[in-house]
Amino acid sequence: MEIIIITNNNKVYNFYKETNTTLFYQKKDLIELLEIIKEKIYNGHRLLSDPIFSSLERPENPYKSVAISKIIFEDNRDHQKLIDGAISIAKKIENRKKFYDFKENNLEEYRFIDLNLLSDIIKDMD
């Protein structure tokens, strides 16, 4: 299945840019990235990975990568509800940190975690 990866993680971008359409939004926070994903979903793409779960498990992680369908679907209401719900939940997450709140070695650890989460999801799609 062809996918589009939307990420604010340069490690994910560098890993997948040769094999998948990868949209990299450097320094966008979780809400900003989810709003970009929402636009894609409202244009007919479907969510292929959970847009919020890992952010609930690790709310301190500033990185987020989401896989969406490359194919456009006419009836996409269920996925629109999912992304709207994810944004609503994300806005309620307290103490979300910004990139500048972290030291570089911590950011690298979070990049790696995000890459591994996405890689596991993509492997399960095959």
Query: What is the pLDDT at residue 12?
Result: 98
The domain tally of the chain equals: 1
Q: Is 51 helix (H, G, I), strand (E, B) or coil?
A: coil
Strand residues in the chain grouped as ranges (E): 3-7, 21-24, 65-69
Helix then strand count (H, E) for the chain reads 5, 3
| Helix axes 77-92 and 30-42, enclosed angle (nearest 10) | 170
For the stretch 78-93, pLDDT in tens is 999 999 999 999 999 8
Half-sphere exposure of residue 15: CA atoms within 13 angstroms, side-chain side: 17
Domain, as residue range, for 72:
3-125
The model's confidence at residue 55, banded by pLDDT at 50, 70 and 90, is confident
Q: Read off the pLDDT of each residue in 89-117 and give the average, rounded to a whole number.
A: 85
pTM above 0.85, yes or no: yes
